[in-house]
């Protein structure tokens, strides 16, 4: 059966609509353009095929398709026809990073926040900063001053460090020095920070012990995609009075397992076994974790 695409979102394009139900010209054009994209995606590649499938006249289909080619949503090859264009690929990757990840992670981080009682963040690497994509506020009176859409340092935040756990030492040095212009002097030297990052990489989680914000501590773990690459990270943050060393070690396992669950939903089939090692006991001095 021939598939007829809809140009008004509710009825076949070949059916007439009265003035009360006919959409505005601008929205109708948009819907028809989307119909062209869907038709090409479904295998209609020539102008004749598109005209037949969309039940529109040839000149209208040609105008719509030409505009989509100009904007790179479609590509056109003589004697072959139309194909989906590179712009859709770009948008698809952006949508994967910005939209699907928060949706996939949402119920996991809600459960983590409910169990921990503290603020949970979800973030990704954005240049030399960590970009917060989502936040679940904690139940404690002392809140964490952060907002979705904010960008935070990598070297001093737990979430930022978790995003860097797979990076080679040369890259880690670059990220460390990227914060050189910060007004607040960082408390750890490059050598101490690199040693701690190696420790974090072996443990599978990272800590922030009042490095980014006074009296705020954080435990974070990376999220991996189907290829095993770190795609994002989650963290649990709270006031230092609720985050002594013992509780941070307990939270580390919970945060890691939540990150592993989100990773599994993204297609990762790894496990925590290779990083299930005893946590370092001293987390207050440079001789232990930072």
CA distance 128 to 198: 19
Specify burial of residue 203 (Cβ count, 10 A radius: 0-12, 13-18, 19+).
Answer: buried
pLDDT at res. 16: 37
Domains defined along the chain, listed by start: 1-84 (1.10.10.10), 94-275 (3.30.450.40)
Task: Give me 186's structure tokens.
Answer: 């960082």
Task: Give me 238's structure tokens.
Answer: 């709270």
pLDDT at res. 25: 59
For 80-95, give the DSSP string. Answer: TEEEE-HHHHHHHHHH
Pair type for strands 81-84 and 151-153:
unpaired
pLDDT at res. 37: 95
Cβ contact 174:194 at 8 Å: no
CA distance 68 to 34: 10
pLDDT at res. 11: 40
Cβ contact 237:198 at 8 Å: no
pLDDT at res. 182: 54
pLDDT at res. 277: 41
pLDDT at res. 271: 66
Average pLDDT by stretches of 10, the chain with 290 residues: 47 40 67 95 94 94 96 95 93 70 94 94 94 90 79 93 96 87 72 94 94 90 94 94 91 96 90 46 40
pLDDT at res. 188: 87
pLDDT at res. 178: 85
pLDDT at res. 20: 39
Calculate the CA dihedral of residues 81, 84, 85, 87 and round it to 10 degrees: 160
pLDDT at res. 26: 67
Is the pTM here over 0.85, yes or no? no
């Amino acid at each position: 059966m021939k598939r007829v695409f809809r140009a008004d979102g509710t009825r076949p394009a070949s059916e007439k609509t009265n003035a009360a139900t006919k959409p505005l010209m601008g929205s109708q054009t948009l819907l028809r353009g989307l119909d062209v994209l869907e038709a090409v995606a479904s295998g209609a590649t020539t102008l004749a095929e598109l005209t037949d499938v969309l039940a529109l006249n040839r000149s209208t289909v040609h105008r719509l398709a030409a505009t989509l080619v100009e904007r790179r949503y479609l590509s056109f090859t003589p004697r072959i026809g139309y194909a989906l264009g590179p712009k859709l690929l770009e948008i698809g990757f952006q949508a994967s990073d910005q939209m699907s990840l928060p949706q996939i992670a949402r119920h996991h981080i809600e459960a983590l926040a409910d169990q921990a009682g503290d603020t949970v963040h979800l973030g990704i690497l954005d240049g030399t900063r960590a970009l917060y994509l989502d936040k679940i506020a904690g139940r404690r009176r002392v809140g964490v001053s952060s907002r979705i859409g904010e960008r935070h340092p990598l070297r001093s935040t737990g979430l930022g460090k978790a995003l860097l756990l797979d990076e080679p030492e040369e890259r880690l040095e670059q990220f460390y020095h990227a914060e050189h212009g910060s007004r607040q002097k960082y408390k750890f030297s490059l050598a101490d920070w690199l040693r701690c990052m190696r420790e974090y990489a072996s443990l599978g989680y990272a800590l922030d012990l009042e490095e980014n914000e006074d009296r705020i501590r954080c435990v974070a773990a990376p999220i991996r995609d189907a290829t095993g690459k770190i795609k994002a990270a989650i963290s649990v943050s709270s006031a230092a009075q609720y985050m002594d060393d013992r509780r941070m070690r307990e939270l580390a396992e919970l945060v890691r397992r939540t990150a592993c669950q989100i990773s599994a939903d993204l297609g990762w089939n790894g496990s925590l076994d290779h990083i299930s090692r005893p946590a370092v006991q001293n987390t207050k001095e440079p001789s232990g974790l930072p």
